[in-house]
Amino acid sequence: MAFGIFQLSLVFTIGLYIALASDIAGAIGINEIPLSLSLKDPEDAVISREQNVVLKCEAKSSVPGLSISWFHENTPLLANDTRVQISGDGSLNISKTSAKKMEGSYRCLARNDVGAVLSNPAQLKIATIGREFIEQPDNVNTTEQQPVIFPCHIDSTPDAIIYWERDNKTLPQNARYVPLPSGALLITSTHSIDTGFYRCVVKHKTLKKTKQSRWGQLLVSPPSVTSSPPQFLPLNLSLNITSIVGENVTLPCAVNGWPIPVLRWVYNKDSLISNSSVLHLTNVTTDLSGNYSCIANNVFGEVSMNFTLNIFEIPHFNVTPMSMSYPSARMVRLECKVNGVPPPKVTWLKNGAPLELIGRIKQLNTTLVLSHSFMTDAGKLVIIIG
């Protein structure tokens, strides 16, 4: 699989009820109220072209008037839209004849007599796999102890599963055989027993299709006696890598040369962290973000390759407001604290639409402040971070 850009949003819903001060007992007049509307987000879906799809919008309401509507790419789907049908339970049915035109982002809006809540987006994608390989193995001649890369790439949505075969058998487990995120196979140090024919096999689970690349022959000769400076093999990988806290990251470094180059990994141009050709980082944390340099040298020269690793932390709420009943003509402060890397953006919605920040309604960093509350301020508030 390829490294991607991290994108995620989270929502938190509260109810805000404003009543006349004379209607609320007590000196303070602030009471916790139960949330009358809850919503479970629709889930992403990947389907084949000849497949119907149902996106669920599971909403519960403790007051009358529950209704569900849908948005495609932030545009409302109308009741007379023949491409889709909204079921009685609020689910969105998309027929196979319309699916290709209906790819994209979907949100559902749940509304009752008190207010409305807008869901997180769900992505609908059509499963595809290319007819031909973009990259596949070629014949390679090398000498023992040198690295080799067999490329393998085919367009696929979602990413297909790739495994390798040698001489019509599944490639055995070996620390020298390193599958790369691009789909390629790296043999970090070839031995004579590696001689043979190699191919990649691609399996697409959704489409239930399997494709096999052409065979590439590997011939491994005795160690070279010809001197040469270190030279990197092309990895076809981005040098800017993004990961998420808790994931594992693999940084490969493949260098030819004779005598065999000595490898070392340096973190932020300072700390020596490994002498292996492949750097494995497990269960990463944000403090591992930075620059990773693979430096290779022998008596004939030195080369270096630099990776930049950015580790994101999923946005999350630290402090959230409660659903409350407030008197009118009072200051209302709804405190919200969030965390994440990079720092998440906070957006407030009211009844499914962006909250209008006017003179008396301000967003101070992540906290919402109503300097003078009115009856019209009541409704469902949703906090989106991402």
Residues 6+ apart with CB under 8 A from 220: 142, 143, 144, 190, 191, 192, 194, 195
| Domain stops at, among 126, 159, 180 | 126
Q: Given the structure tokens 């092309």, which residue do they identify?
A: 234
pLDDT digits (tens, 9 = 90+) for 342-353: 988 888 888 888
238 and 307 part of one domain = yes
Phi, psi of 181 (to 5 degrees): -55, -25
**Same domain as 140, residue 88:** no
Q: Hey, what amino acid is at 148?
A: V
Mean pLDDT by 10 residues, the chain (386 residues): 38 58 42 70 90 92 90 90 90 82 91 84 94 97 96 95 97 94 95 97 95 98 91 91 95 95 94 92 96 97 97 88 78 87 87 85 88 82 78
Buried b (16+ CB within 10 A) or exposed e, 89-128: ebbbebeeeebeebeeebbbbbbbebbbbbbbbbebebbe
Residues 108, 80 share a domain: yes
242 shares a domain with 170: no
Local structure of residue 237 (DSSP, 8 states):
-
Domain carrying residue 164 = 129-221
Q: Is residue 97 domain-shared with residue 42, that is, in the same domain?
A: yes
- For 284-334, the three-class secondary structure string (H helix, E strand, C coil) is CCHHHCEEEEEEEEECCEEEEEEEEEEEEEEEEEEECCCCEEEECCCCEEE
The pLDDT score that the predictor gives to residue 307 is: 97
Domain boundary among 192, 221, 250: 221
Q: What is the pLDDT of residue 18?
A: 58
Q: Report the domain count for the chain.
A: 4
Beta strands at 301-319 and 240-244: parallel, antiparallel or unpaired: parallel
Q: Of 67, 101, 126, which residue is a domain's last? A: 126
Same domain as 157, residue 211: yes
DSSP string for 64-120? S--EEEEEETTEEPPTT-TTEEE-TTSPEEE-TTTTGGG-EEEEEEEE-SS-EEEPP
Amino acid 2: pLDDT: 33
Instruction: List C-alpha distances in Å: 20 to 106, 182, 236, 377.
Output: 38, 63, 66, 12
User: Are 114 and 139 within one domain?
Assistant: no
Q: Which of 370, 343, 344 is nearest to 356 (CA)?
A: 370
CATH number of the domain residue 363 falls in = 2.60.40.10
* 200 and 157 housed in the same domain: yes
- Rounded Cα distance, 90 and 65, in Å: 13
Please check whether residue 125 is in contact with residue 157, taking contact to mean a CB–CB distance below 8 angstroms.
yes
> Which residue type is seen at 318?
N
Q: Are residues 201 and 274 in the same domain?
A: no
Tell me what pLDDT residue 14 has: 60
The reply to whether 195 and 147 lie within a common domain is: yes
Q: Can you give the pLDDT at residue 21?
A: 44
Residues 380 and 61: their CA atoms lie apart, in Å, by 12
Q: Are residues 145 and 159 in the same domain?
A: yes
Are 254 and 304 part of one and the same domain?
yes
